[in-house]
Structure 1
Amino acid sequence: MKLLLEKKEPVSDGVVLLTLRHPDGDPLPAWTPGAHVDLVLTGDLVRQYSLCGDPADTSSIKVAVLREPEGRGGSQHVHDVLDEGQLVEIAGPRNHFELVEAKRYLFIAGGIGITPILPMIAQARQANHEWRLVYGGRTRSSMAFRDELEPFDQVEIHPQDEHGLLDLQSLLGEPEEGTAVYCCGPEPLLAAVEQHCAAWPKGALHVERFSPKPDADQGPRHEFEVELAETGKVLRVPADQSVLEVVERAGVSVLSSCQEGTCGTCETIVLGGTPDHRDSVLTDEEKETGDAMMICVSRSRSPRLVLDL
C-alpha cells in the first residue's frame, strides 16, 4: 500500500514524526498499541517503525524516526530524502508487542523506544488502569514527545546527562504480582531490564527490540530438512543458509523484511519437528510451544521441520 507523506516535523533533536494518509482518503488498516509497519524506502531498503499515533484514527498513521548516523541507512533516508507530498510504500501493520490485560503497568522507555509506549499509555488511561512511565534519554532535548508526557504525575523523565542511568534496582528489585512490565529501547537497557526481572512472575516482562540480541544466533549450525506441507516437497537447508533463503530459491514466496529476526514478518507455522529459535521476537513461552518460527534466522533441533508453506 502506498501512502501520502502529509507531514514531516521534528519532535526532538534527531527525531522526525511522519504523518501518512491514503492518497484517496480511504480508511487505513486497524492496529493495536505495540504495532509496527514496514516502510519500503527503496527496493532493498525496508525498515520497521512503531506506530505512535491514535489507533482509533483510521485516517492516518504516525511513526517517529531517530537519525542514526551509524545505522544501515534507513533513518538517514527518512531524514534526508523523504519529503512531504511523496508517496511511501508501507506493509503491515503487525504486532508482536501486544498490551496484555493486567492490574497495573510499568512502562520503561529508552530514547526512541518511547514510540510504541505512547499508544499503550493511552489505552491504559482509557481503561482506568494504574500505570507508570519511566523514560530515559541522553539529554532532555533528545527525548521525543517529552512535552506531552511531562504533565502526567505518573511520568518520570530521566535525562542521562542530568540524572545518570535509570535506577533499575529500585524499579524492579521487588517483583510485583499483577504488574506487567513493558520495555523498549536500546539493547543495553533491554538486557539490564531482563536481568532485573529474572525473579518476576513468568510472563510479566514484555520487550521489543530494534536489533537482534547479541547472542541470538549462537549455537551449532547443522544441515537439516524442511518439508513444505502444501506440496510435500522436501528441501535441504545447508549449514550456511537460512530456511528463508532455501524456500525462496525453491520458488516459494514468503513475506520477509529485516532478515535478522527482529520484525516478525517471516513468522511461519511449524507443523512438525522442533525449531531452534534464534529470533529476538518470540517470548520464551512462545518458543517453548514450538508452534511458529522466524525462518530468516531460526534453524532446527530435529532432522526435519514440517512448515505450513
Structure 2
Amino acid sequence: MTAPTEAPPALASTAWLAPGPLPARRGLALLAWGLAQPLIGLRVVVREPALLRAAARPVLLFAGFCVLVAFIAEDDAAGRLEVFLTTLVTLAPAPVILFGKTYRRLAAAARVPLGLSPRTAEMPRLWTAIGDAARQAVLLAIGLVPVWLAFELVQAFWPDAADGFVWIAWAVGGFWALHWIVVEALDNGHTVDPAAAKETALVPVDPWFVRLWQFPLLRRCSGLLRRLSRPWRRELELVARYPELALGLGLGVAAMIAVPFVALVFRPAAVVAAVHVLGRVEQAAAPPQ
C-alpha cells in the first residue's frame, strides 16, 4: 500500500490565492484575507479568457487614444512620449466613468469563476456615474478640512511642532483617501440577483465621519456629508462591520492603482476582488440552511 502523495509545493504555496469563504477569526486573519483579494482577483482574471478579454478592452482603447493624441500633437519621439504621459495622467480618472459598464459586466461575469452564484450586471447611467465621481471629490475635500484647520492652528500657536504635525496630517489624509478607495471598489463589485426579492430600503444609519461632524457649529456640514454619502450606504455599512477586511482590501487595491496607467491595467483585478468580498460577506451573513 503506497503512502498518499503530498500536494506539490507550488500548489500549496498558492492555496491562499484561491477564492474561499471569510476566515472564521477576526483581526489579523481578516486583514490578511482582505489584503490577498486583489491578487486573487488578478489571478482569476488572468486564468479566465473571457474575463481577460473584457479587462483588456478598456486598457487598449484608452492607451490607443493617448497614443493618437501624442502622434497628432508632436512630431518627435521625445515630444510624443511627453504628450502621451501627460494625457495619461490628466485623463486618469476618465476610464472609471467611461468604461463603467464594462467593469459592471466584468463583475457579473466573475461571480461563477469565483465560486459564487450567477447574477446580472448592475448598470447605473452615465450621468449617475459622473455625479457619483463629483460627490466623492467633494467628500474627499470636506473630509480634509479639519486636517487643514488643525494644521493652521498648530502653525499659529505651536510653530515648533508644525513640522512633526505634517506627518500626522499626511497619515490622516492617506487614511481618508484609502477609505474611499475601498468604498469605490466595493461599489464597482455590486451585481443584481434577478431571483431575489426587491431590496428593501436600508435604515439610515449615519457613517462614522458624519457623526464626527455633529457639533453645534458643524451640523450643517454633517448634513451635507450625509446627503453626499447616501449612494454608498451599503459599502459604508460593510466597512463599519469589517474594518480589518476593509483596511486589507484598501491597502491591496491602493498598491495596484497607485500609478495611473498601472491603475487602468489592474483595475479589473480590483473589481473582481470586490465581487469576491461582497459574495463571501453575503454568504457569511446568510442564515444557515
TM-score range relative to shorter protein:
under 0.3
Q: Which structure would you say has the larger RCO, counting Cα contacts within 8 Å and 6 or more residues apart? A: 2
| TM-score (normalizing by structure 2) | 0.27
Greater helix content: 2
Larger radius of gyration: 2
